[in-house]
Chains A and B, each alone.
Chain A
Amino acid sequence: AQSVAQPEDQVNVAEGNPLTVKCTYSVSGNPYLFWYVQYPNRGLQFLLKYITGDNLVKGSYGFEAEFNKSQTSFHLKKPSALVSDSALYFCAVREGGSGNNRLAFGKGNQVVVIP
């Protein structure tokens, strides 16, 4: 079964510092990986995805993620965090078969950016 793990519960970072949110995956075959962000009492917003191609994927709001096959990781990064980046971040992997975009989500990481 396809799955992702987000090992940390909460990530605290000072405003202006680099932000990293960790995600590792376990899949059979080629992984299709995603990052979403959720603000309080809102739905999930898509940030970026990796399907194939360059290992460094750039997404919305200045976020990027690096696909690392040898470490089975897909960490989300932002060079300089903003207070407005404080939210819940989910890593996800497609677990449906062909034509089924069903995603399996990690438990989420709460990011707190300290002014």
Chain B
Amino acid sequence: NAGVMQNPRHLVRRRGQEARLRCSPMKGHSHVYWYRQLPEEGLKFMVYLQKENIIDESGMPKERFSAEFPKEGPSILRIQQVVRGDSAAYFCASSPDRGREAGELFFGEGSRLTVL
């Protein structure tokens, strides 16, 4: 059973370009969470999605960042007009649909974005 798959693992962009990060959850999981980890810092929540719905975007920056989880295909985190401060590791996590049980999150290996 494949784990959470993220690609690309490493991405280099110049300031002003767009970055697209993809995440395929574990098989049978319908919930996706995106986190950002800045150097020497912990993980910060960005957004929580289910298929075709954004459930919680309380951690998303107001501008330049967007996320989607279409009916078919992976979840995508999109960063427009990247700046150097966007350089970070972006982690995707998934969880199964267990209703109200506090289940653990299963993390991917991360996508490391470097903005030149």
Which A residues contact B (CB, under 8 angstroms)? 32, 34, 36, 41-46, 49, 51, 90, 94-96, 98-108
Contact = CB atoms under 8 A, between A and B. Distances in A.
B55 interface: yes
Interface of B: 4, 31, 33, 35, 41-45, 48, 55-56, 91, 93, 95, 99-110, 112
B56 A98 contact: no
21 contacts: A36-B107, A42-B109, A43-B107, A43-B108, A43-B110, A44-B91, A46-B105, A46-B106, A49-B104, A51-B101, A96-B48, A96-B56, A99-B100, A101-B33, A101-B104, A102-B45, A102-B48, A103-B105, A104-B45, A106-B42, A107-B41
B43 A101 contact: no
B22 to A, nearest CB: 15
Contacts of B101: 51
Kindly list the 6 A-B residue pairs having the minimum CB-CB distance in the complex, ordered from nearest: A32-B102, A43-B107, A44-B107, A107-B42, A43-B109, A105-B43
